[in-house]
Amino acid sequence: MQVKAKYKVAILGATGNVGRLLLEILHERKFPFESIKLLASPRSVGTVMESHGQQYKVELAEPSAFDNIDFVFASAGSAVSEQLAPEIVKRGAVLIDNSSFFRMHDDVPLVVPEVNAAAVLKHKGIIANPNCTTAPLVVVLKALDDNYGVKRVIVSTYQSVSGAGKEAMDELRATSAQALQGEDFTNRVMNQKIAFNVIPQIDKFTDNGYTKEEMKVVHESRKIMGKPDLRVTCTAVRVPVEICHSESVNVELDRPATVAEIKSLLAKTPAVVLHDDPARSIYPMPIDVAGEDPVYVGRVRADESNPNTYNLWIVSDNLRIGAALNTVKIAEALIKQLAAAKV
């Protein structure tokens, strides 16, 4: 890819939750785009979408649609990415993919710019965006690892229904209303009833008893941080919240630190906001964090059961830092790295 003043961009899966937000964020961050093409399945073709006073008509996601495109931001699922990626790369565009399909491919960088921005230069046409719980987690872990060394991580996630798509959000609203009226209701999108409930399963179970979602956190964290032997375990839970994923994180460090030192470190970490004053009931919550860009951290405290170990509470907007925002940041990082290399 050549450094340009402006770039031609395509959003694949433009009518979904993440696709719509990608369009907004490109405008919000004043990404240097010359044009934006919106692509989706046949049922969405002709749909008109608006952002910042500009209207865009959705076109069919077919190979010829990627001619003369510089960046493709994809959020249409693994099957679509697998099918169209060869056509995108063949036409010279850089694909930044939100699906899980390419994340663990050895020749595909998996990137969170605050953690491993330099990895973008290793791309061969495709850069992967990580799981929506992995991205905020590694931003925090990177700061701790650089200063104290991270030895072991235990993560329990509390993931909103937006991670399962707009239909899941609609189901939460509808079934919650039915439950409040004392009516019986059924789940059609989620694998279990989600209204006034928590579901200890996200994605399918694997042979080791963990779900695919849980193993994504394990493998992706290791790859992004460049620590293939990092000890990580995860339990992923779906909760009746519309937007924002929360994470309870237990981190064992190699070197001692005080709670005050960890708080000070996180307070000055880029893309992180320390929101931690329990005496005044101040800590991150989805209701406050939805729509925000940073990773919010609170409830920082020592684990009294184990030396050099600390508990953290992390909340982030999964549609932004966990998906659309990080995707755009990856493109910005590539442009910056290419410009620096040219100099």
Does residue 32 belong to any structural domain of this protein?
Answer: yes
Shared domain check, 203 and 266: yes
C-alpha distances out from residue 110 to 82, 124, 277, 295, Å: 16, 12, 34, 19
By the 8 A CB rule, do 129 and 216 touch?
no
Helices marked H in the chain: 17-28, 78-90, 113-116, 134-148, 166-180, 212-225, 259-267, 286-289, 325-342
Reported as a single tens digit per residue, the pLDDT across 109-128 is 999 999 999 999 999 999 99
The pTM score is 0.95
Say if 174 falls within a structural domain: no
Judgement on whether residues 337 and 291 belong to the same structural domain of the protein? no
Q: Are residues 261 and 143 in the same domain?
A: yes
User: Is 2 within the bounds of a domain?
Assistant: no
Minimal CA–CA distance to 38: which of 6, 4, 75?
Answer: 75
Question: Residues 142, 75: one domain?
Answer: no
CA distances from 11 to 72, 243, 281 (A): 6, 22, 40
Distance of CA 234 to the CA centre of its chain: 16
Q: Are residues 124 and 33 in the same domain?
A: yes
* Residue 152 and residue 86 in one domain: no
Q: What is the CATH number of the domain that holds 11?
A: 3.40.50.720
In a domain, 87, yes or no: yes
Structure tokens at 107: 């020749």
Q: Please pick, among 123, 234, 244, 245, the residue that the annotation labels catalytic.
A: 245
| pLDDT for 224 | 98
With respect to residue 175, please indicate whether it lies within any of the assigned structural domains.
no
Same domain, 139 and 250: yes
Question: What is the per-residue pLDDT across 234-244, written as a single tens digit (0 to 9) for each?
Answer: 999 999 999 99
Residue 343: per-residue pLDDT: 52
**pLDDT, tens digit (0-9, with 9 covering 90-100), for 143-168:** 999 999 999 999 999 999 999 999 99
CATH number of the CATH domain containing 213: 3.30.360.10
Give the per-residue pLDDT at 176: 97
* 292 found inside a domain: yes
User: Of 123, 132, 244, 275, which is the active-site residue?
Assistant: 132
User: Per DSSP, what are the bridge partners of residue 38?
Assistant: 11
132 is catalytic: yes
Same domain? 275 vs 331: no
CB distance 296 to 277 below 8 Å: no
Looking at residue 342, what is its pLDDT? 76
In a domain, 172, yes or no: no
Q: What is the 3-state secondary structure (H, E, C) of 117-139?
A: HHHHHHCCCEEECCCCCHHHHHH
pLDDT tens digits for range 260-282? 999 999 999 999 999 999 999 99
Backbone angles phi, psi at 10, to 5 degrees: -125, 140
Percentage of the residues of the chain whose pLDDT score is greater than 90? 98
Residue 288 lies in a domain: yes
Count of the separate structural domains present in the chain? 2
Compute the distance between CA of residue 150 and CA of residue 145 in angstroms, rounded to an integer: 5
User: What's the rounded mean pLDDT across residues 70-97?
Assistant: 96
Check whether residue 152 and residue 297 sit in a common domain. yes
Q: Same structural domain for residues 115 and 203?
A: no
Same domain membership, residue 309 and residue 213: yes
**Same domain? 287 vs 151:** yes
Classify residue 178 as exposed, middle or buried by CB count within 10 Å of its CB (0-12, 13-18, 19+): middle
Burial of 288 (0-12, 13-18, 19+ CB in 10 A): middle
Pairing of strands 245-253, 309-316: antiparallel
What is the C-alpha to C-alpha distance for residues 159 and 145, in angstroms, rounded to an integer? Answer: 25
**Looking at residue 341, what is its pLDDT?**
84
| Boundaries of domain holding 309 | 134-160+198-317
